[in-house]
Amino acid sequence: MTGMLAEAIAHVRSGGTVAQAFGFDGMRVSGARLSAIVESRRSPEESRQTAKYVAVSIAAACRLSEDIGCSAARCLQTVAAAYRRVRLAEDRRQQAFAVPQATSGLLSVLPAGTVLLGEMMGLSPLSFLLGTDRGLGCLALGGCCYAIGLLWNRALLRGMMTNIGIRNRDVGGTPAEDRAVPWLTLIIAMLDVALRQGASIPHALAVVGRVCGGEIGQGMVQAGSALLRGSSWHDAWVAPCAGESAADAFELIRAALEPSWTRGDTPSVRLEAVVDRLDADERAAIERAASRLSVRLLMPSGLCFLPAFVFVGIVPSIISFAI
């Protein structure tokens, strides 16, 4: 999808429209129309969920360009930058979890590998396992330990890998909704674009909130409207966000813009610092999760795979050799 976004940006810069760049000239750009196109350009290592996020993000960038009058190419560049950050985070996660996953895979084949090695050495462990009552008992115990270990390992891996990077992803929207932009880094980048275009902070909050949608978007619209009505900075940001991730994102945006509102500081520097902080936090979270996973994998290894290895591999080989 990186190539698709680069082609669209180049087409818009050369004088075309976003609709023309994606092949439906004359129709409004929407997440629903873009989903099929983005899905067709998705590579095997890119998930369908990410493709939906990209489609919705492109549609939001187009609406932002229309509402504040900035270049569509510039808005598409924010989508491309946010997508690169997400892909980089996913690559980091895959690399960090590669060793624990490899360890888990090695342990899962160890009992069967031991039996195969015993057969190659002429010890005939299968004859003991399948031909005697004691062997069937060892096989049953080892099989139970092995199955529990596999389920335990998969649960650990799935739980760790799906809960990393939440702050950079879902902030109150779902990828199936046309008006939802789950990437927090993209929301912050769109705020930066609006402010650089000359929009005031209240107007930028209202516009970006409308195009983003979801719980965080609603909160931004309410905050911008309150500031336009003359509310104080603190009172304007009391809009409730029920979701924990949306509330955290809402607080990050408030803290980044407060010095600009109260002291007149340049907002772009602080918004960029928030994005860098999110990247650093996510990288640290991935490293911590990989370390915790390596430790937690010792439990199924010691309590499940090791007994399975003994019951299925070691005991049959020793008894067959003794006989």
pLDDT tens for residues 281-294?
888 888 888 788 87
pLDDT > 90 in the chain, percent: 6
The chain-wide mean pLDDT, for the chain, equals 80
pLDDT > 70 in the chain, percent: 88
Cβ atoms of residues 289 and 99 within 8 Å: no
pLDDT for 202 equals 92
What are residue 21's phi and psi, to 5 degrees? Answer: -65, -30
pLDDT for 50 equals 78
pLDDT for 203 equals 92
* Nearest CA-CA partner of 140 in 306, 299, 311: 311
Q: Can you tell me which residue has the tokens 């160890």?
A: 110
* Nearest CA-CA partner of 63 in 83, 48, 78, 52: 78
pLDDT tens for residues 90-103?
787 777 777 777 87
Residue 242 has pLDDT above 60, yes or no: no
Average pLDDT over residues 213-225: 86
- First-residue to last-residue Cα distance in the chain: 63
Residue 46 has pLDDT above 80, yes or no: no
- Tell me the pLDDT band of 205, cut-offs 50, 70 and 90: very high
Distance CA 56, CA 1 (A): 14
pLDDT for 244 equals 66
Residue 213 has pLDDT above 50, yes or no: yes
pLDDT tens for residues 152-201?
888 887 776 655 544 445 554 444 344 445 578 888 989 999 998 888 99
Average pLDDT over residues 102-110: 77
The better pLDDT of the pair 169, 86 is held by 86
* Nearest CA-CA partner of 76 in 90, 65, 87, 88: 65
Residue by residue, DSSP assigns 100-112 as HHHHHHHHHHHHH
pLDDT for 177 equals 43
